[in-house]
């Protein structure tokens, strides 16, 4: 990559300022001047003229937006999980149980060859709610399929993993291995491993040895993944599953790229009881830096371990994911454990971002935040709530009063909307899933995300579904409220920049900010939601340097 700020640029085109309401006369611009990578003037051609000697950059096709921001993803993990050596069995790729098992068995057969490289099989994307006919496998069933080859199957949510005996041996996990904090290994009545790991600590302990075996390939894999995100229109991405092992990788790629990366990277390190952040506050630069800490208060709706005050429905779907009748999920930590975990990091000044889906988990997180905020007299902390599937109107109001922000996984509606209403929680609760309109009414500057590999990276679709609350099969959910177009556009631009504490760097086209841009094929203010969702990304830019996609 070349120096992003090699010259003064005069950029012209149809420019949309999403931080301003659509009826504001300044919301549409025709020209901007970029010096040293930053915007020094923006407005009409009459008001913003070309400086002498500036490079003219005309963008005649499409509409220019602030560079799109993905505020909650997992590129460090997704790069590996979507790489050539992992079987993609996600429900957006394979649609039936037979398809899933056929893909796994084919790879197992190939790896039985003693001359095969990487003699293990990793399948990513298991989802019995959408891939009807799948049922939770146990270690004996997986041993029968792969008696000698390590086999691991990651649930599409990322919150559970299935493994055989050869995999447990490869990872040095036995029945006597203690459960990681906030996670656990499933065991049968005799205390033997049953081949299931729940939550991040257990999942990472299974995945890590296989990831380490590909360490020499990770620079190319990670770089290719970041480039793919740029082609989807992303110019900045936050990794909310960052671990210290990736610091040298990101720093090395940045150095090799002349100081830049295909996208700007903001890291939130996974929390660990008793630990401290592995980088100091104020680390890095505007291309790569760690800005926060990630806590996981509960699990995934698709696994059955989100913490709620009410039971899941009892039916064939919940039986297929291994739930007993009238099952109620629990939080990963007690109140005391959550507070201790938050104190470890917030006391040092870190922004906290906590995965919280169920109403009980949301209360637990808000309670914890409130105590930390009061103890340390925090003001502009911007503590985050992540996903917020079953967050209630009163909880949104309480969060806003405390200065807490939310990032909603609205794309769950696209793929699992019917499942939420019919199979898991009923129309009243499931229909109000990821309620962006109610969050907005409470005063929260909401953002949207795709969460790594769980759903495809599709920020434009997120904007559309936040408005319509309509699934890919055409059902409009029975509860919740949609947002306006102005709010939907901000969910991946100005709101996301503010959430990442970067509103004076990215996400807003204003003087002093970087000229990071995304060019799309439709007018984002007037296009129908379905046309916005399927619009083409024509180009992106960092610091005014345009890259066609």
Return the domain boundaries, the chain.
1-67+507-549, 84-213, 220-506
Q: Is the pLDDT of residue 1 over 50?
A: no
Look up the pTM and report it: 0.94
Angle at 96 between CA 94 and CA 102, to 5 degrees: 75
Per the prediction, the chain carries an average pLDDT of 95
Q: Is the pLDDT of residue 4 over 60?
A: no
pLDDT (0 to 100) of residue 5: 46
**E strand spans, 177-316:** 184-187, 193-198, 234-242, 264-270, 288-296
pLDDT, tens digit, 9 for 90 and up, residues 95-127? 999 999 999 999 999 998 777 778 899 999 999
pLDDT (mean) for 310-324: 95
13-17, 55-59, 159-163, 214-218: which range is least confident on average?
A: 214-218
Write down how long the chain is.
549
The CATH H-level (homologous superfamily) assignment of domain 220-506 is: Metal-dependent hydrolases (3.20.20.140)
**Helix segments in 86-136, DSSP class H:** 97-111
DSSP state of 278: S
Q: What is the percentage of the chain residues whose pLDDT exceeds 90? A: 95
pLDDT, tens digit, 9 for 90 and up, residues 161-220? 999 999 999 999 999 999 999 999 999 999 999 999 999 899 999 999 998 888 899 999
Compute the CA torsion angle 125, 131, 134, 138 (nearest 10 deg): 10
Written out in words, the top-level CATH class of the domain with range 1-67+507-549 is mainly beta
Cα–Cα distance for residue pair 482/474, rounded to 1 Å: 15
pLDDT (mean) for 237-243: 97
pLDDT (0 to 100) of residue 113: 79
Q: Is the pLDDT of residue 3 over 60?
A: no
Domains 84-213 and 220-506 share a fold: no
The structure tokens listed for 138 are 């146990």
100-114, 394-408, 441-455, 466-480: which range is least confident on average?
A: 100-114
pLDDT, tens digit, 9 for 90 and up, residues 462-484? 999 999 999 999 999 999 999 99
Q: Which of 300, 302, 306, 282 is nearest to 292 (CA)?
A: 282
CATH number assigned to the domain covering 84-213: 3.10.310.70
Helix (H) or strand (E) segment spanning residue 16: strand 9-16
Reduce the DSSP state of residue 437 to 3 states and report it. Answer: helix
Integer CA distances (angstroms), 80 to 105, 371, 391, 474, 520, in order: 21, 38, 32, 33, 28
Q: What is the percentage of the chain residues whose pLDDT exceeds 70? A: 99
């Amino acid at each position: 990559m070349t120096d992003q700020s090699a010259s003064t640029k005069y950029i012209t085109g149809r420019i949309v300022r999403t931080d301003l309401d659509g009826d504001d006369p300044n919301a549409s611009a025709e020209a901007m001047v970029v010096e040293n990578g930053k915007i020094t003037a923006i407005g009409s051609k009459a008001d913003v003229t070309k400086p002498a000697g500036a490079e003219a950059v005309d963008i005649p096709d499409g509409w220019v937006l602030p560079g799109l921001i993905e505020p909650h993803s997992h590129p460090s993990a997704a790069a590996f999980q979507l790489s050539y050596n992992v079987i993609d069995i996600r429900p957006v790729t394979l649609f039936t149980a037979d398809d899933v098992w056929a893909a796994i068995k084919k790879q197992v057969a190939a790896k039985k060859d003693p001359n095969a490289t990487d003699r293990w099989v990793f399948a990513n994307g298991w989802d019995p709610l959408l891939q009807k006919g799948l049922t939770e496998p146990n270690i004996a069933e997986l041993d029968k399929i792969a008696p000698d080859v390590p086999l691991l199957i990651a649930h599409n949510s990322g919150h559970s993993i299935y493994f055989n005996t050869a995999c447990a041996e490869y990872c040095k996990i036995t029945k006597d291995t203690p459960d990681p904090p906030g996670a656990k290994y499933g065991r049968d009545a005799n205390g033997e491993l049953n081949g299931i790991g729940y939550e991040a600590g257990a999942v990472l302990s299974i995945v890590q040895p296989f990831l380490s075996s590909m360490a020499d390939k990770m620079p190319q894999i990670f770089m290719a993944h970041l480039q793919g995100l740029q082609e989807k229109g992303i110019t900045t991405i936050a990794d909310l599953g960052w671990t210290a092992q990736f610091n040298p990788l990101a720093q090395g790629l940045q150095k090799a790229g002349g100081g830049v990366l295909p996208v700007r990277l903001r890291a939130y390190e996974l929390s660990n009881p008793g630990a401290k952040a592995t980088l100091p506050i104020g680390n890095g630069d505007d291309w790569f830096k760690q800005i926060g800490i990630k806590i996981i208060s509960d699990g995934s709706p698709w696994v059955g371990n989100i913490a709620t005050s009410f039971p899941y429905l009892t039916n064939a779907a919940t039986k297929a994911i291994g739930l007993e009748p009238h099952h109620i999920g629990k939080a990963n930590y007690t109140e005391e454990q959550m507070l201790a975990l938050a104190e470890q990091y917030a006391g040092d000044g870190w922004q906290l971002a906590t995965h919280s889906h169920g109403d009980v988990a949301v209360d637990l997180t808000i309670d914890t935040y409130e105590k930390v905020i009061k103890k340390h007299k925090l003001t502009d902390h911007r503590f985050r709530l992540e996903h917020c599937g079953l967050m209630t109107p009163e909880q949104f109001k309480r969060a806003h009063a405390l200065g807490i922000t939310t990032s909603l996984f609205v794309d769950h509606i696209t793929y699992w909307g019917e499942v939420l209403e019919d199979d898991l929680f009923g129309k009243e609760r499931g229909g109000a899933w990821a309620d962006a309109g109610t969050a907005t009414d409470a005063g929260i500057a909401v953002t949207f995300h795709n969460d790594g590999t769980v759903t495809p990276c599709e920020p434009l679709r997120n904007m559309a579904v936040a408005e319509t609350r309509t699934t890919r099969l055409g059902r409009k959910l029975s509860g919740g409220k949609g947002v306006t177009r102005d709010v939907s556009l901000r969910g991946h631009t100005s709101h996301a920049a503010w959430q990442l504490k970067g509103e004076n760097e990215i996400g807003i086209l204003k003087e002093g900010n970087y000229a990071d841009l995304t060019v799309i094929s439709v007018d984002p203010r007037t296009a129908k939601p379905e046309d916005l969702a399927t619009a083409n990304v024509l180009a992106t830019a960092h610091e005014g340097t345009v890259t066609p996609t």
